[in-house]
Amino acid sequence: MKVLHVGKYYPPHMGGMEIYLQQLVLHQSKVMDVAAIVASDLRRTQVEFLDGAKIARVASLGVIASMPITPTMAWPIRQNKADLVHLHTPNPGAALALLMSGHSGKLIITHHADTLGRKQLRRLTDPFVRRVMERAAAIIVTSKRYLETSEELAPFRDKCRIIPLGIDPTPHKRNDDAATKNIRATYGEGLILAVGRLVPYKGFEYLIRSMKSVNGVLLLVGTGPLQDELQGCIQECGVQDKVLMLGRVDDIAQYYKAAKIFVIPSITRAEAFGLVQIEAMAAGIPVINTDIPSGVPEVSVHGQTGFTVPPTRKHWQMQSIYCSTMRNCGNSSDEKHALQAHDKFSMEKIVKQTLDLYETVMAGSE
């Protein structure tokens, strides 16, 4: 079987979709012929051999509403003779390119998230996004809760199959006591960790404000357009000694090991899954997440691997919620968190489920 992945970007461009796509390519390339076509950050096309596969990064003219503009993407899709195309959405530009390519292979979509907002742009893009959905033999959704709350998926629920995202837990199991001790010596023992792009739906502002009354140090890892605004929030709240923005961190696994608690404070269903929760669970630390209508509360389950709290934009309420929840989390790691991450979300299991679906589709059973 020859499989072509069509995605948004590919590492080192970082994000949940990109990391997941890389893991799929890495594992699938061991057993089949795999290629990927994604957008480039540059105005020229680059072709590389990475992770056992041919990765084509198609020239991009820029980005509109998070959508890369890649007018030549249809051509490499048309040239690829894959038996099956695996499209990763939301990605309206890639959906249009696939339709324009005339590729005749079977189609599977992983629907990572709905396209939220952008009403004017969606008048243009929704028709061909629907056409791609209609053409797909199967649509992978990452959680039951997201499927149940998605208006975009409602017309296609009969062809939806739930397969969660996954990670390779190995880096998070690796103990580097020297690195962990160094991080704690630098920042303190009671470390709280948050990881993600610095964008509004992540809710980092409310987590920062809650630190006024929290006994601990928050390490915020990530980059994004709200960097200056969040730095200003830290200054305004007077928590410069309790909240540190670290930017991009290459070896994030050691920060999970050094932390006592992981927090994902997202406030809308734009946070569709929260892959970082699995990384925290694999490292054996409790997760505080929010009860938003997406897959987030399904990944780390309240009372099992952490605590789920109601999302709120009221600063004083968030402050109270985080303070009490962080106290309940305690200061000890728990091996059951790591076991949960491995049992439900190991990449080997996710790849197996995905390959089973490929075979079912190719056999014409879907």
**pLDDT tens string 73-132:** 999 999 999 999 999 999 999 999 999 999 999 999 999 998 876 777 778 888 989 999
The CA distance from 171 to 241, in Å, is 30
Of 73 and 19, more confident:
73
- Residue 316: what pLDDT? 46
- Residue 320: what pLDDT? 60
Look at residue 71 and tell me whether its pLDDT is greater than 50. yes
pLDDT band at residue 321 using 50, 70 and 90 as cut-offs: low
Positive or negative, the CA dihedral 150, 154, 160, 162 is positive
Asked if 189 and 323 sit in the same domain, the reply is: yes
- Of 366, 365, 361, nearest to 86 by C-alpha is 361
Asked if 248 and 280 sit in the same domain, the reply is: yes
Asked if 249 and 149 sit in the same domain, the reply is: no
Kindly state the percentage of the chain with pLDDT values over 70: 89
Q: What's 89's DSSP letter?
A: E
- Of 171, 227, 228, 217, nearest to 194 by C-alpha is 217
Asked if 182 and 102 sit in the same domain, the reply is: no
What is the arithmetic mean of pLDDT over 143-160? Answer: 94
- Of 132, 12, 13, nearest to 66 by C-alpha is 13
Kindly state the percentage of the chain with pLDDT values over 90: 64
Q: How many domains does the chain have?
A: 2
Asked if 96 and 224 sit in the same domain, the reply is: no
Q: Which residues does residue 16 pair with via DSSP β-bridges, in sequence order?
A: none
pTM of the model as a whole? 0.88
Q: Is there a contact between 4 and 85 (Cβ–Cβ < 8 Å)?
A: yes
Asked if 251 and 311 sit in the same domain, the reply is: yes
Ramachandran bin of 98, using left for φ above 0, alpha for ψ from -120 to 50, beta for the remaining angles? alpha
Asked if 190 and 303 sit in the same domain, the reply is: yes
The CA distance from 221 to 195, in Å, is 5
pLDDT band at residue 67 using 50, 70 and 90 as cut-offs: confident
Look at residue 315 and tell me whether its pLDDT is greater than 60. no
Q: Give me the torsion for CA of 283, 285, 288, 291, rounded to 10°.
A: 50
- Residue 98: what pLDDT? 96
Please report, for the domain that includes residue 356, its CATH number: 3.40.50.2000
pLDDT in tens, 256-266: 999 988 999 99
Residue 289, domain extent? 170-344
pLDDT band at residue 323 using 50, 70 and 90 as cut-offs: low
Map 127-171 to HEC letters: HHHHHHHHHCCEEEECCHHHHHHCCCCHHHHHHEEECCCCECCHH
Asked if 146 and 216 sit in the same domain, the reply is: no
pLDDT band at residue 332 using 50, 70 and 90 as cut-offs: very low
Asked if 126 and 189 sit in the same domain, the reply is: no
The CA distance from 259 to 188, in Å, is 10
Asked if 46 and 153 sit in the same domain, the reply is: yes
Structure tokens at 243: 């909240």
The sheet with strand 243-247 has its strands ordered as: 243-247, 217-221, 191-195, 261-263, 287-290, 306-309
Asked if 147 and 181 sit in the same domain, the reply is: no
What is the arithmetic mean of pLDDT over 201-220? Answer: 89
Asked if 320 and 303 sit in the same domain, the reply is: yes
